Structure 1
Amino acid sequence: MGWTATLRAEEVAPGTAHVVEAGGRRIAVCNTGEGYYAIDDLCTHDGGPLDQGRLDGREIECPRHGARFDVTTGRALCLPAVRPVRTYPVRIADGVVEIDLPA
């Protein structure tokens, strides 16, 4: 698929995540205040929606059972999750968040 425009960067305030549907996926666009990151909106522990959790710096917490993930790498940071969440490259072009989606 390649680079896909999703939403305007200003729609995602620092310290928040916003879900977009792109390429048949639910993706959480996260603004850490230092940059934008895109991850699957799906906790690898039980499938919970990560966008509804708290984003603190680079860590997002699943609201269901407290699993945390690094939004920059997808790495699971604490139990009950052990598997990483998928991440996608992000760029800002003319104020729009674009995500590089696989074909």
Structure 2
Amino acid sequence: MSEWIKVCALDDIDAEDVIRFDHGDRTFAVYRSEDDEVYATDGLCTHEQVHLADGLVMDEIIECPKHNGRFDYTTGEAKGAPVCVNLNSYPARVEDGTVFIQL
């Protein structure tokens, strides 16, 4: 059964940025777009397991800090070498100024 997990206040994530969120033994990346939409993906690059929250967000792309692989953070789709395996993505929402993701 999936559940909605509280991540942080929306204001804790700058527009066009990403934060790391750890829950249990898993790491997630939670993004805030320029238009205040929120998204969530696995938090580790599928190429070498580097934390994506240390990467660069440009438009709807997260760039891994190690080898510059790119993913579309709205879908998890791998968009640039050396990554070729997509990230899992998770439903995210904002309720009363608080960000939640569904696991």
Q: For 1:46-57, what aligned pairs fall within 5 Å after superposition?
A: 46-57=48-59
> Any runs of at least 4 consecutive aligned residues in structure 1 with deviations exceeding 4 A, and if so which?
none
Q: Which residue of 1 aligns with 2:64?
A: 62
**% identity of equivalent residues:** 35
Matched residue SS, 1:48: coil
Q: In 2, distance between residues paired with 1:6 and 1:78?
A: 28
The Cα of 1:23 is off from its aligned counterpart by: 4.2
Please, which runs of 5 or more residues in structure 2 have no aligned partner? none
Q: In 2, distance between residues paired with 1:24 and 1:94?
A: 27
Q: Which residue of 2 aligns with 1:15?
A: 16
Q: Aligned-residue CA RMSD in angstroms?
A: 1.0
TM-score by length of 2: 0.93
Q: In 1, distance between residues paired with 2:50 and 2:76?
A: 15
The Cα of 1:22 is off from its aligned counterpart by: 2.1
Q: In 2, distance between residues paired with 1:13 and 1:51?
A: 12
The Cα of 1:99 is off from its aligned counterpart by: 0.4
CA contact (8 A) 1:32 1:55 kept: no
TM-score by length of 1: 0.93
CA contact (8 A) 1:6 1:22 kept: no
1:77 aligns with 2:79: yes
Aligned residues: 101
Q: In 1, distance between residues paired with 2:55 and 2:92?
A: 21
Q: For 1:33-48, what aligned pairs fall within 5 Å after superposition?
A: 33-34=34-35, 35-48=37-50
Residue-by-residue CA offset, 1:32-53 (whole Å, 9 max, x unaligned): 2121111111100111111101
Please, which runs of 5 or more residues in structure 1 have no aligned partner? none
